[in-house]
Structures are given as C-alpha cells and as structure tokens.
Amino acid sequence: MTTKSQKIKTIQREMITACIQLADIGFLAGIGGNLAVRVDEELMVVTPSASDYYTMKPEDLCVLEINSLKMVEGTKQPTTESGIHASFFQKRLDVNVSLHTHQPLASAITLLGNDISLESKEAKELIGSKLIMVSYAPSGTSFLVSAFRKKITLNQNGYLLKNHGIVCGAKDLKSAIRSVILIEKEATNFLKSSIQKNPVVANYPAPLVKQINSVFTT
C-alpha cells in the first residue's frame, strides 16, 4: 500500500468518526449534510450521497479529483455538493476540511438572507468576523456551486446557504466540528436577542415568552 493510499484510508476512518459525532448532536440529521477532506492538491475524500451516517463504512467514502470531480475510488455516488467542497479547496489552499450541515438554528437564520456578525472571541478566531450569506440556488446544482464560489474570501470560513444550511471550512476535522458548534451557539444568541428586542414580545403572555425562551436553552 502506497503512502497516499494509507493517508486516504486514515482520512476515511476519521471522517466516519466525525460524521457519527455530528449526527449524534443533530447537525447531520438522517442523510442530510455532507463532509469533504483534502488528501493533497489533487484529491479529496467526500461522503456518499443519500447514505445513513450510522451504517456508513470507510470504504463507502468516495475519492474525487478536486479539479474535475472525477471519481478515482469508491463504489457509491458521491455527495451532490462535491462541487461546493471542491470550490472551497481550490480557492482556499489553507482549508483542508469542508463541512456542510443542516444544523437547526443556524439553518433557520439562512432564511433571513443577510450576513450575520459573530460575537465570541473563539468564533472570530476560528471562523472570521461573520457568516457570509450565499444567494439561493437549488441544492446540488452548478448554480449553487457558482453562487458559493463567488462568496469565498480569504478570511471568512463560515457561509450561510440561503434557505438551506451551513458550509464551514477548517484546517482539520476537530476544528471543523468545533466551528459548527460555535456557529450554532452564535445563531442561538442572535435569534434570542432578536426576539427579545422585538417590541411585540413585551405584550406576549408570560407562559408564551417562557415557551419561546425554552427553545434557546441548549
């Protein structure tokens, strides 16, 4: 087995562990969301399309050429969002992991259509000063890849796909998982603050306000 083959096998095993961790916390629900890890300048490993994360095996993950998306290893269909991950790797040579999630509250703020500033020091250090909104396009299409590619910047690692979910880049899997956890916390605080600042809420019955606030206790 060559050194590159060994590296790919290691990446595949680590990706399975990461996917299960993300599924456990509800960020990769069902068959939603996907993950890609750079092997080198030429290759990346991506999760397969429409596959359950709890039954996925390392050999199910697909090895693709970053520039052409040609599959060089694997038996399943690669994720339909492979083009997004490839774009991230092409434009950001410092990004080794590209993670797309459908995490609950962060996905909710994609409906707003605006960039969202990040507040915590840790979030700013890992992700950047804000989450950048990517204009809507159907999932899995070249239109979405093009829209995402246009928004990629050197200093921002978190992106909101309008009406869809999150794409986050990182140097490694541990940082990627930590980043999306921080994004969910930032989304929680943003939504809670927005609701509390709404003057209409002051007229709500106390039980309703308590019920609303209970959504943001996680």
Q: How many Å apart are CA 201 and CA 56, to the nearest integer?
A: 45
**Nearest partner of 144 among 210, 100, 177, judged by Cα:** 100
- DSSP β-bridge partners for residue 47: none
For residue 162, name the pLDDT band (cuts at 50, 70, 90).
very high
Q: Cβ neighbours of residue 16 under 8 Å, at least 6 residues apart?
A: 56, 57, 58, 61
Percent of the chain scoring above 70 in pLDDT: 91
pLDDT of 75-116, one tens digit each? 899 999 999 999 999 999 999 999 999 999 999 999 999 999
Higher pLDDT, 130 or 198: 130
Q: Decide if 189 contacts 123 (C-beta within 8 A).
A: no
**What are the pLDDT digits (tens) for 118-153?**
999 999 999 999 999 999 999 999 999 999 999 999
Distance from C-alpha of 187 to C-alpha of 171, rounded to nearest angstrom: 22
Using DSSP bridges, classify how beta strands 165-170 and 130-134 pair: parallel, antiparallel or unpaired.
unpaired
Q: Please state, in angstroms and rounded to a whole number, the distance separating the CA atoms of residues 44 and 65.
A: 6
Segment holding 131, helix H or strand E: strand 130-134
Whose tokens are 């093009």? That residue is 146
Write out pLDDT tens, residues 15-58.
999 999 999 999 997 778 999 999 999 999 999 998 899 999 99
